[in-house]
Amino acid sequence: MSSVCIFYSLDFTLQSFTKLRPVFLTPGILSNISYDPEPEANDCHDAISRRLPSSVVSLRLAWDRPTVGDVEAGMMALFRIKEDDGTYLRHLTHICLDYTGKLVDVVHQTMDAMGIEFVMLHHHYGTLVLDLFGVLVNHTVKGTTGLSRAQITSALHCPDWHNYEKGQISRQECYERVCSEFGISLEDWTKALDQWRESLKPNMALISAIGELKRVYPQVKVLCLSNIPEPELALLKDEIDDWEIIDEFVASSKIQQRKPDLAVYNAFLDIARTSATSCILVDDEIENVVAAQTLGFKGIPFDNMDVLIATLHNLLGNPIARAKKFLENNAKNLSCTLSTGEMHPDNFSQLLILQNTGDRNLVLLENKSHSPTWNYFRGSPSFAGFTYPDDSETTALAMTTLDDIPMTEKLRARDEILIYLNPDGMPTCWLSKSRPRFCHCICATVFRFFVVNEWINRLPGVYEYLCSLLETRAYVHGSRYYKIPDWFLYTLSDLCARRASDPRLQTMRVLLIECVYERMGCNTNVLGAAMRALSAQSLGLQNKRDLELLLERQQLDGGWELAWLYQYGSTSLEIGSRGVVTAMAMNAIQRACL
């Protein structure tokens, strides 16, 4: 038995956006609808019509191990509902799908019939188009006796050689015209081309990587589109076949068009029987990439093999599944790393991973004292000759994140934190009179713990102080422990999402929307991008720029690069993690899909 789950989200609309009072609607998610697709499609029709609000604007569709029949049943049910009742689903304008392959075609065809826009959550690329020379084959042009490198290069880019590449003139005619135009002997020209052929070296590392890519994504076809005369291709054909990665070779001499002329790409699409938007094109010539992209191809200039392969995995793979696999493969081994290279086991980063994944099997937590307060360190709290006391931030994060802590312990933790306030009534970092440190990012984490438990009145003045940091933009300087100002926005936006209808937070909510909106896409720091994306989602804002950055920067192993989370206050020693940034990035992408 298979099941279909239909989610809906009411598209939020940012209306009358001003710095004073932006108005928006936050997303909502419908509970799952399950049905057995084997009986008549009426069952699916009835299930959807009973459970789906008529006001739905967009749908996200997901099937568990579907067949084409399953998809057709679900899509036809939607089609009938919309057609049979002119008022029902009249607001439905978007369908989102995160699957690829033949199922996409079924959905797309039904959407066309319904007049509904079809949106891919993960863009479907079914064709990889590779250049030959400069990508799959390395080559060099060297000067020879009687001919300089510049002369040879100019000759290979002259109109007569282009016509030869397009199969419009013979080799003999081409050679004669080139020699005549450039005043060179046929012997020298023939010798120069022989040396060029000898310089051809297959890029076996890339060829092997493409072969592995085909094994990982078997639905993707790999084609070669090359400016090459037919006689030159004939010399290379057997070797190209031996690579066993090219499903079809499209030569300029065959279609009598050459890159970067737009006609060559249209002819290629006809031969490949595909659309431009489903193609990724890799070429070492910028003008070829630019021309293809104007038609809808995803263009990638080739420069570095490792970067290319990582980019292709990011375009072809499921970023959420890959990130989840990375975290699971490294479960219980996602500790932080110091800027000195040493491992740094702590509780705080583990709680951040848990907060963003909900998976306790990924993390290691340790509270040896079995008290309601927590220590930043996992294991011995000693570092660099100091023994560190429990701290308010790790305690507050644990109390907010862990779902098995009884209220009695939360109350004890609250009372302990209230003992250590500075003269302004703000919670300090350490639960010790000997370390009266203050950090506004830590203050925000503690404030969140108090607010979600309805203790806001126990920290008078803190709300106003946090709002002043937002209003004056003082937060952008970072803090004693946090260089990245997005930490502050991330924590407070999460608080506002947890208390979305709390009127006491309205001023903070409005200020946060301003600040988050200002910082969208402000830099290429992956940790900052993840936090900005999550902050925007918590506030009901779209943040396409930072999401795109996250999708582009996923590493080959499915995780994201190590990012520096925070630092020791008294030294320049930084603490980094791949686990935290991967958990945050995965969460941001997952929430965007929903």
pLDDT tens digit sequence for 407-425? 999 999 999 999 999 999 9
How many whole angstroms separate alpha carbon 72 and alpha carbon 62?
Answer: 13
User: What's the pLDDT at 58?
Assistant: 52
Q: What is the CA radius of gyration of the chain?
A: 30
Superfamily of domain 127-133+201-316: HAD superfamily/HAD-like (3.40.50.1000)
Burial (Cβ within 10 Å: 0-12, 13-18, ≥19) of residue 418: middle
Q: 12 vs 212, which has greater pLDDT?
A: 212
Are 581 and 561 within 8 A, CB to CB? yes
Chain-wide mean pLDDT for the chain? 85
State pLDDT tens for residues 148-173.
Answer: 888 888 999 999 999 999 999 999 99
β-partners of residue 300 are 282
Give the architecture (CATH level 2) of 319-593.
Alpha/alpha barrel (1.50)
Instruction: Please give the Cα distance from 441 to 510 (Å, whole number).
Output: 19
Q: What is the pLDDT of residue 40?
A: 44
Query: pLDDT class for 70, splitting at 50, 70, 90?
Result: low
On whether the 140-198 domain is CATH 1.10.150, my answer is yes
The Cα angle at residue 289 between residues 315 and 304, in degrees rounded to 5: 60
Span 354-402, pLDDT tens digits? 999 999 999 999 997 678 999 999 988 877 778 889 999 999 999 999 9
Confidence class of residue 209 from pLDDT cuts 50, 70 and 90?
very high
Convert the pLDDT of each residue in 511-545 to its tens digit. Answer: 999 999 999 999 999 999 999 999 999 998 989 99
Helix then strand then coil, in percent of the chain rounded to 5, is 50, 15, 40
Question: Which of 141-145, 188-192, 383-387, 488-492 is predicted most confidently?
Answer: 488-492
Q: In sequence order, which ranges of 169-275 are alpha helices (DSSP H)? A: 171-182, 186-198, 204-216, 230-243, 252-255, 262-272
> Percent of the chain having pLDDT more than 70?
78
Per the CB < 8 A criterion, the answer to whether 165 and 252 are in contact is yes
**Looking at residues 180-204, what average pLDDT do you find?**
92
- Provide CB contacts within 8 A for 419, sequence distance 6+: 431
Nearest Cα to 213, choosing from 282, 266, 149?
282
Burial group, residue 93, by CB count within 10 angstroms (0-12, 13-18, 19+): middle
Percent of the chain surpassing pLDDT 90: 69
Task: Place 592 in a pLDDT band, splitting at 50, 70 and 90.
Answer: confident
CA-wise closest residue to 470 among 452, 449, 448, 493:
493
Query: Which part of the chain has CATH 3.40.50.1000?
Result: 127-133+201-316
Question: How buried is 108 (Cβ within 10 angstroms: 0-12 exposed, 13-18 middle, 19+ buried)?
Answer: middle
Q: Return the pLDDT at 90.
A: 55
Q: Are 396 and 446 in contact (CB under 8 A)?
A: yes
The CATH 1.10.150 domain(s) of the chain lie at: 140-198
Closest CA to 481 of 438, 435, 421, 445: 438
Q: Are 281 and 129 in contact (CB under 8 A)?
A: yes
